[in-house]
């Protein structure tokens, strides 16, 4: 197992620092670039790149990184993570979560606001950004909560939070059940030019459940949540998005019915997007039989028809982005009976290899997979990232597409180890992560 190395970014301490990435396979999903070449960073920006760059050698005074033919791509984004800070630092912190991101090749994350206290005012948005500057290995952005305390009743001061840097709004972990409140949220968000992101779950149908409704829940004798719980909320929200003209984003979509609803909305020209987590196109609810609580998540693992629907949604563009819903939990929250266990798994260090499985199995082209982890999620939250172009921020991921390795949660950099992918053999991993021109992770 190669050694993992880390370094905090310098935040532009040396704006004249020059680094040449040579012998690279330059790959940009947005433009379609796929060519052998080199890339030059100066300070925190991409200065130049292309097949002809440094053909006559690298001038003196420039640091050289030999990419050895590996894939050099814009840094990956994960626009749904839970870093647990403030309030549950024993599960994860911005420091440990961002370190986990760096080792997974992720250069930008968007944190969910369901911390303790909830990120529902400008002081807490500022706190996240301050902690990220002090302790973060990658770019850390945050959503604000839609409602105060995530109680689903009173809209937060959205305008002030956007001014403070919030990239959008969600009550993730809970849905906004009140249609009137949701309509107001859409209207405000439309004026602010940011997305409303929804955890789609009809609580009237999911109350008392702990996994997907189907033959496995019946076999285990536990209550299951039907697909309709997700689809009903997505259908309602699409109607509200159409009514208000707002941008609507479906978090961790998991059912064929909800995916079909998004597909229809896109055909109507509505500003509707969706993301899917790797576990929802990799596993089914049968995994609960083997991994028990480490396969308990919300939305739950579904039937195989839904897993295939997620893959088809990614293939045809109905699902725009891949995002992990990285949800770290301590052992005491997971090693309990299924009905009592916390929801969620860690995912930042497994997103890339699991997603590349779709490429290695011939299910999806590499360009489409990388698009779902680079410029498409960047566009959803409106951040300037995910594209390789001159003048862009030098956030880069170097990927060995062909290396086979075994996932081992004990080697993860997250504070928590709750993953059902222990001992999985995968192909492809990040071997260097660059944030603002600084290498923050590398294998050696």
Q: What are the C-alpha distances in Å from 149 to residues 52, 172, 279, 423?
A: 54, 12, 29, 39
Structure confidence at residue 11 (pLDDT): 75
Q: Let me know: does 139 contact 83? Beta carbons within 8 Å.
A: no
Q: What's the whole-number mean pLDDT along residues 220-247? A: 98
Say whether pLDDT at 184 is over 90: yes
Say whether pLDDT at 246 is over 90: yes
Say whether pLDDT at 91 is over 80: yes
For 157, counting Cβ atoms within 10 Å of its Cβ (0-12 exposed, 13-18 middle, 19+ buried), the class is middle
Structure confidence at residue 340 (pLDDT): 94
Say whether pLDDT at 86 is over 80: yes
Residue 393 phi/psi, 5-degree rounding, is -60, 140
Q: What's the whole-number mean pLDDT along residues 152-175? A: 98
Q: What are the C-alpha distances in Å from 316 to residues 80, 142, 371?
A: 22, 29, 13
Q: What's the whole-number mean pLDDT along residues 196-218? A: 97
Q: What's the whole-number mean pLDDT along residues 338-358? A: 97
pLDDT tier at 14 (50, 70, 90 boundaries)? confident
Structure confidence at residue 384 (pLDDT): 98
Site of tokens 């480490």: 294
pLDDT tens figures, 170-180: 999 999 999 99
Structure confidence at residue 207 (pLDDT): 95
Structure confidence at residue 13 (pLDDT): 74
- Which of 3-12, 160-169, 403-412 is least confident? 3-12
Query: Would you state the CATH architecture of domain 4-73+391-443?
Result: Roll (2.30)
Structure confidence at residue 321 (pLDDT): 98
Q: Any idea of the CA torsion for 323, 253, 375, 416, to the nearest 10 degrees?
A: -10
Say whether pLDDT at 251 is over 90: yes
pLDDT tens figures, 289-300: 999 999 999 999
Structure confidence at residue 361 (pLDDT): 98
* Cα separation, 140 vs 35, whole angstroms: 30
* Cα separation, 144 vs 199, whole angstroms: 14
Coil, helix or strand at residue 21: strand
* Cα separation, 325 vs 427, whole angstroms: 22
- Which of 5-14, 19-28, 299-308, 332-341 is least confident? 5-14
Structure confidence at residue 3 (pLDDT): 96
Q: What's the whole-number mean pLDDT along residues 48-61? A: 96
* 19-22 LR contacts (CB < 8 Å, sep 24+): 19/62, 19/63, 19/64, 19/65, 19/437, 20/54, 20/58, 20/62, 20/63, 20/64, 20/65, 21/65, 21/67, 21/72, 21/396, 21/398, 22/54, 22/58, 22/64, 22/65, 22/66, 22/67
Helices H / strands E in the chain, number of each: 15, 18
Structure confidence at residue 107 (pLDDT): 98
* Cα separation, 320 vs 274, whole angstroms: 6
pLDDT tens figures, 21-48: 999 999 999 999 999 999 999 999 999 9
Q: Let me know: does 205 contact 227? Beta carbons within 8 Å.
A: no
Known catalytic residues are: 325
Structure confidence at residue 1 (pLDDT): 76
Q: What's the whole-number mean pLDDT along residues 209-238? A: 97
Mean pLDDT, the chain, as a whole number? Answer: 97
* Cα separation, 249 vs 438, whole angstroms: 32
Structure confidence at residue 50 (pLDDT): 98
What residue ranges of the chain are covered by domains with CATH 3.20.20.140? 75-380
What residue ranges of the chain are covered by domains with CATH 2.30.40.10? 4-73+391-443
pLDDT tens figures, 116-144: 999 999 999 999 999 999 999 999 999 99
Q: What's the whole-number mean pLDDT along residues 108-112? A: 98
Q: Within 10 A of 336 (CB to CB), how many other CB atoms are there? A: 12
pLDDT tier at 228 (50, 70, 90 boundaries)? very high
Structure confidence at residue 231 (pLDDT): 98
- Which of 9-13, 237-241, 332-336, 353-357 is least confident? 9-13
pLDDT tens figures, 305-325: 999 999 999 999 999 999 999
pLDDT tier at 283 (50, 70, 90 boundaries)? very high
Say whether pLDDT at 53 is over 90: yes
DSSP letters for 258-273: HHHHHHHHHHTT--EE
* Cα separation, 339 vs 296, whole angstroms: 9
Of all residues in the chain, the percent with pLDDT exceeding 90 is 98
Site of tokens 């984003």: 249
Token pair, residue 361, equals 């199995």
Structure confidence at residue 431 (pLDDT): 98
Q: Let me know: does 220 contact 341? Beta carbons within 8 Å.
A: no
Question: Which class does domain 75-380 fall in?
Answer: alpha beta
Instruction: Identify which has the larger pLDDT, 105 or 14.
Output: 105
Q: What are the C-alpha distances in Å from 4 to residues 10, 431, 444?
A: 19, 9, 7
């Amino acid at each position: 197992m190669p050694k993992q190395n880390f370094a905090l970014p310098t935040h532009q301490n040396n704006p004249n620092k020059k680094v040449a990435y040579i012998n690279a396979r330059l790959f940009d999903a947005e433009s379609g670039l796929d060519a052998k070449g080199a890339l030059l960073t100066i300070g925190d920006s991409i200065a130049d790149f292309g097949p002809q760059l440094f053909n006559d050698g690298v001038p003196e005074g420039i640091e050289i990184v030999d990419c050895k033919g590996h894939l050099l791509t814009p840094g990956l984004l994960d626009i749904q993570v839970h870093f647990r800070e403030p309030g549950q630092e024993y599960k994860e912190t911005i420091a440990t979560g961002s370190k986990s991101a760096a080792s997974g090749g992720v250069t930008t994350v968007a944190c969910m606001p369901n911390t303790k206290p909830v990120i529902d005012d400008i002081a807490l948005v500022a706190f996240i950004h301050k902690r990220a500057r002090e302790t973060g290995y990658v770019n850390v952005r945050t959503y604000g909560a839609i409602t105060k305390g995530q109680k689903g009743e009173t809209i937060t001061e959205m305008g002030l939070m956007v001014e403070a840097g919030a990239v959008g709004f969600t009550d993730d972990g809970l849905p906004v059940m009140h249609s009137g409140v949701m309509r107001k949220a859409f209207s405000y968000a439309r004026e602010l030019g940011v997305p409303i992101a929804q955890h789609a779950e009809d609580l009237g149908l999911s109350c008392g459940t702990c996994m997907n409704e189907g033959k496995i829940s019946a076999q285990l004798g536990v209550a299951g949540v039907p697909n309709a719980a997700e689809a009903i909320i997505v259908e309602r929200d699409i109607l509200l998005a159409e009514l208000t003209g707002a941008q609507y984003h479906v978090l961790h979509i998991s059912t064929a019915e909800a995916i079909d609803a998004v597909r229809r909305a896109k055909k109507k020209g509505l500003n509707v997007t969706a993301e899917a987590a790797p576990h929802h196109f990799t596993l089914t609810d049968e995994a609960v039989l083997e991994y028990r609580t480490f396969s308990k998540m919300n939305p739950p693992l579904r039937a195989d028809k839904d897993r295939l629907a997620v893959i088809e949604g990614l293939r045809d563009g109905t699902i725009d982005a891949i995002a992990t819903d990285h949800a770290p939990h301590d052992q005491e929250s997971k090693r309990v009976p299924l009905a009592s266990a916390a929801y969620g798994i860690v995912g930042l260090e497994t997103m890339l290899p699991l997603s590349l499985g779709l490429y290695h199995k011939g299910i999806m082209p590499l360009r489409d997979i990388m698009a779902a982890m680079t410029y498409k999620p960047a566009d959803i939250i409106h951040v300037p990232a995910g594209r390789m172009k001159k003048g862009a921020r030098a956030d880069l991921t170097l990927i060995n597409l062909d290396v086979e390795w075994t996932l081992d949660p004990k080697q993860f950099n997250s504070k928590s180890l709750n993953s059902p992918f222990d001992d999985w053999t995968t192909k492809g991993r990040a071997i260097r992560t660059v944030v603002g021109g600084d290498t923050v992770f590398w294998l050696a």
